[in-house]
Amino acid sequence: MYKYLFFFLFLSTSLFGQKYENTSATVLLANFTYGSHIPLGDLNDRFGSSNAVGGDLELIMAKSNLIFSAEFQMIFGRKVSEDPLSNLRTEDGNIIGNTFSFAAITLRQRGLHAAFNVGKLFPLIKGNPRSGIRATIGLGLLQHKFRIQDDPSSFVPSLDDRYKKGYDNLSNGLSIKEFIGYQHLAKNRLINFYAGFEFIQGFTQNRRSFNFNEMAKIEDKRFDMLMGFRLGWTLPFYVGDNGEEIFY
> Which pTM was predicted?
0.86
Say if 205 falls within a structural domain.
yes
Question: What pLDDT is recorded for position 244?
Answer: 42
Residue 221 lies in a domain: yes
Is 240 contained in some domain? yes
37 located within any domain: yes
Residue 35 inside a domain? The answer is yes
List pLDDT tens digits, range 55-107.
999 999 988 999 999 999 999 999 999 999 999 999 998 999 888 889 999 99
> In the chain, which stretches have pLDDT less than 50?
2-21, 241-248
Report yes or no on 128 lying in a domain.
Answer: no
Distance CA 47, CA 81 (A): 5
Residue 119 lies in a domain: no
The pLDDT assigned to 235 comes to 93
| Number of domains, the chain | 1
In a domain, 166, yes or no: yes
Q: How many other CB atoms sit within 10 Å of the CB of residue 170?
A: 16
Residue ranges making up the domain that contains 166? 2-18+27-74+87-112+139-176+198-247
